[in-house]
Amino acid sequence: MELSIQTSGLTKAYSGTKVVDALDLAVPRGAVYGFLGPNGAGKTTTMKMLLGLVRASAGSASVLGMSVTPRNRVQVNARVGSLIESPSCYPHLTARENLEVVRSLRGLPKRSIGEALATVRLDHTGSKPVGAFSLGMRQRLGLAAALMGNPELLLLDEPTNGLDPAGIQEIRELIRRLPAERGCTVLVSSHLLSEIDQMSDHVGIISHGRMVWQGPLGELHARARRWLELRTTDNERAARLLNASCGTDGWVRVPAVDDEPVARMTLSLAREGIGIVRLEERNEGLEGIFLALTGSEASL
């Protein structure tokens, strides 16, 4: 598997406190990699190290096959687009003038500004200064700047911050489409599980600066505990019979969910004259997995 980003033992410590601790990140080429972690887990610091804006205390980082150091960051970032923390916007300039700064630095043709503005639907803003933009519009402008020049890799730090629900949906779809439409790899950080679940195909979960799990999203879902919940004509007897628990809410919870045990279970209940009123499959979802991996103190 070809990797766009690979880190080995990447560590950042401030005054002896490790913010990122021996992180081994592996982002496959062409993936939308969701970088998930509670606030303060070390996501932004990791991204800054990948951009060469912050020096690593230990370990190494390779981006698009190039080792990243503050010395060669300009060379590496010529192929990388990024939106870290809040977007860079000159409030006294228009959206077009703001993108002109990026266009000039990247040496792109003039038309790239119009294309980028159209992609994030800011092409109607005309001579309005960015200082008069809403938070969501600024976020879109930041995204437009990151997308300029079709970078091979995009590092997006909580890109949907400040957007309204429609904007969030739109940006999610845009990010999801990027690998297919532009052939780029996306590393997108978030502390929102649902967001990562909807956008990513690979996930890395970081907690207290350490990578606690990474791999394809499907594998993460497969780790989820599943169970059946049923309501019967006699819940207590059904629970005894199935050796299951009966909650105060009246539902009987059975851990098995495969076809054959379920068939056996329904038959045995029927034989005992217990009717099944409702039968539902449940799983703990990403939130449960996340909390199990990061510890219950993790705040989402």
Who contacts 27 (Cβ-Cβ below 8 Å, separation ≥6)? Answer: 3, 4, 5, 6, 33, 185, 187, 202, 204
Cα separations (Å) of 203 from 115, 147, 152, 156, 269?
30, 22, 19, 14, 41
185 touching another protein, by CB under 8 A: no
The residue range among 26-34, 49-57, 164-172, 183-191 that interacts with another protein, by the rule CB under 8 A, is: 49-57
Who contacts 276 (Cβ-Cβ below 8 Å, separation ≥6)? Answer: 230, 231, 232, 266, 269
**Bridge pairing between strands 3-14 and 26-28:** antiparallel
As a whole number of angstroms, the distance between CA 134 and CA 115 comes to 21
For the bound state, the minimum distance from the C-beta of residue 260 to another protein, rounded and expressed in Å, comes to: 56
257 touching another protein, by CB under 8 A: no
Among 141, 145, 203, 230, the residue binding another protein under the rule CB under 8 A is 145
For the bound state, the minimum distance from the C-beta of residue 105 to another protein, rounded and expressed in Å, comes to: 4
Among 24, 28, 30, 106, the residue binding another protein under the rule CB under 8 A is 106
Site string for another protein, 29-48 (x = CB under 8 A): -------------------x
Closer residue to another protein (CB): 101 or 257: 101
- Confirm if 1 and 150 have CB atoms less than 8 A apart: no
74 touching another protein, by CB under 8 A: yes
As a whole number of angstroms, the distance between CA 203 and CA 36 comes to 7
The residue range among 19-27, 30-38, 104-112, 116-124 that interacts with another protein, by the rule CB under 8 A, is: 104-112
77 touching another protein, by CB under 8 A: yes
The long-range contacts involving 240-248, CB below 8 angstroms and separated by at least 24 positions, are 241/268, 241/269, 241/272, 241/274, 242/268, 242/269
Q: Is the torsion defined by CA of 157, 28, 54, 290 positive or negative?
A: positive
Q: Is the torsion defined by CA of 109, 113, 114, 118 positive or negative?
A: positive
How many residues sit in the footprint of another protein (CB under 8 A)?
Answer: 31
Closer residue to another protein (CB): 53 or 276: 53
The residue range among 16-24, 84-92, 158-166, 280-288 that interacts with another protein, by the rule CB under 8 A, is: 84-92
85 touching another protein, by CB under 8 A: yes
The residue range among 26-34, 99-107, 190-198, 219-227 that interacts with another protein, by the rule CB under 8 A, is: 99-107
As a whole number of angstroms, the distance between CA 67 and CA 63 comes to 6
141 touching another protein, by CB under 8 A: no
87 touching another protein, by CB under 8 A: yes
As a whole number of angstroms, the distance between CA 67 and CA 60 comes to 7
For the bound state, the minimum distance from the C-beta of residue 37 to another protein, rounded and expressed in Å, comes to: 20
Q: Which residue has the tokens 């009246």?
A: 250
55 touching another protein, by CB under 8 A: yes
Contact residues toward another protein (CB under 8 A) are 48, 51-55, 70, 73-74, 77-78, 80, 82, 84-93, 97, 100-102, 104-106, 145
